[in-house]
């Protein structure tokens, strides 16, 4: 019996040391990870709304209650609003898909950027490639639709083969941004 107690104490000490080391590691890496995520957001905003020289955060009260909206920034150049970047998080096949959408004051999508996601590598992850470029230049006068085949109309994008759920998730994020833009930001 004494042997079991001794082993229990040793196991407790090892677990306590490991937990302490993990806690310190978390504290040390927390700030650099947050800084890297902030820089990734800045880069995404610049990518989807390249005409903007600077970005101003929009008050959350403007978009409170809108589905899937995480953050909104107004893009400004020479004191004029050139458009908005809207970050959404619709549900995809493997969880939430972070989608940043740029919309110009000319009522057009200027870019889409796919951020963090847990989509299937090789399928859903293809949303980060050519798929997202299909949205560029689309009018925000009406919602975008996903089709699997056929001739594309003005407001349609072609689904990723084998990853229709991801295609629909990205489009849901884009449509959430379109709705917010048309109702509150124009």
Average the pLDDT over 107-132 and give the result.
Answer: 73
pLDDT tens-digit readout, 16-52: 999 999 999 999 999 988 888 888 889 999 999 999 9
pTM score: 0.82
pLDDT tens-digit readout, 70-107: 999 999 999 999 999 999 998 776 778 889 999 999 99
pLDDT at 161 over 60: yes
pLDDT at 177 over 80: yes
> pLDDT > 90: what percent of the chain?
60
* Long-range contacts (CB closer than 8 Å, 24 or more residues apart) made by 59-65: 62/184, 62/185, 63/180, 63/184
């Amino acid at each position: 019996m004494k042997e079991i107690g001794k082993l229990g104490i040793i196991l407790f000490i090892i677990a306590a040391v490991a937990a302490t080391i993990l806690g310190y590691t978390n504290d040390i890496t927390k700030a650099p990870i947050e800084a890297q995520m902030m820089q990734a957001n800045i880069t995404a905003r610049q990518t989807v709304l390249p005409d903007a020289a600077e970005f101003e955060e929009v008050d959350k009260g403007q978009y409170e209650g809108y589905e899937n909206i995480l953050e909104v920034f107004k893009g400004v150049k020479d004191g004029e609003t050139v458009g908005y970047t809207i970050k959404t998080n619709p549900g995809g096949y493997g969880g939430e898909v972070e989608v940043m959408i740029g919309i110009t004051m000319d009522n057009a999508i200027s870019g889409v950027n796919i951020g963090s996601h847990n989509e299937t590598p090789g399928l859903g992850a293809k949303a980060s490639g050519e798929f997202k470029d299909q949205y560029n230049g689309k009018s925000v006068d009406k919602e975008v639709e996903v089709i699997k085949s056929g001739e594309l109309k003005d407001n349609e994008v072609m689904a990723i083969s084998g990853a229709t759920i991801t295609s629909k998730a990205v489009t849901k994020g884009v449509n959430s941004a379109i709705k917010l833009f048309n109702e509150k930001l124009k």
